[in-house]
Amino acid sequence: MRIATWNVNSITARLPRLLAWLESSGTDVLCVQETKCSEEQFPSGQLKELGYESAVHATGRWNGVALLSRVGLEDVVKGLPGGPEYEGVSEPRAVSAVCGPVRLWSVYVPNGREVGHEHFAYKLRWFEALGAAVREDAAGSRPFAVLGDYNVAPTDDDVWDRSLFDGATHVTPEERAALAALRAEGLTDVVPRPLKYDRPFTYWDYRELGFPKNRGMRIDLVYGNEPFATAVKDSYVDREERKGKGASDHAPVVVDLDL
**For residue 40, how many other CB atoms are within 10 A of its CB?**
8
How many domains is the chain built from?
A: 1
149 is an annotated ligand-binding site residue: yes
Q: Is 189 a catalytic residue?
A: no
Residue 66 has pLDDT above 70, yes or no: yes
Residue 196 has pLDDT above 70, yes or no: no
Residue 47 in contact with residue 162, Cβ under 8 Å? Answer: no
Q: Which pLDDT belongs to residue 187?
A: 98
> Mean per-residue pLDDT for 171-180?
98
Q: Is 220 a catalytic residue?
A: no
249 is an annotated ligand-binding site residue: yes
Which long-range contacts does 123-127 make (Cβ < 8 Å, 24+ apart)? Answer: 123/151, 123/169, 123/175, 123/178, 124/174, 124/175, 124/178, 125/84, 126/80, 126/83, 126/84, 126/93, 127/175, 127/178, 127/179, 127/181, 127/182
Inter-axis angle of helices 173-183 and 118-138, to 10 degrees?
10
DSSP code per residue over 203-224: EE-TGGGTTTTT-EE--EEEEE
- Catalytic pick among 28, 52, 57, 108: 108
Phi, psi of 124 (to 5 degrees): -65, -40
CATH code (residue 136): 3.60.10.10
- Catalytic pick among 28, 137, 149, 158: 149
DSSP code per residue over 21-40: HHHHH--SEEEEE---SBTT
151 is an annotated ligand-binding site residue: yes
Per residue in 122-156, pLDDT (tens digit) is: 999 999 999 999 999 999 999 999 999 999 999 99
Q: Is 119 a catalytic residue?
A: no
225 is an annotated ligand-binding site residue: no
Q: Which pLDDT belongs to residue 195?
A: 55
Q: What percent of the chain has pLDDT over 90?
A: 95
250 is an annotated ligand-binding site residue: yes
> Mean per-residue pLDDT for 52-63?
95
Q: How far apart are CA 255 and CA 22, in angstroms?
A: 14
Structural domain range at position 96: 2-257
Residue 216 has pLDDT above 90, yes or no: yes
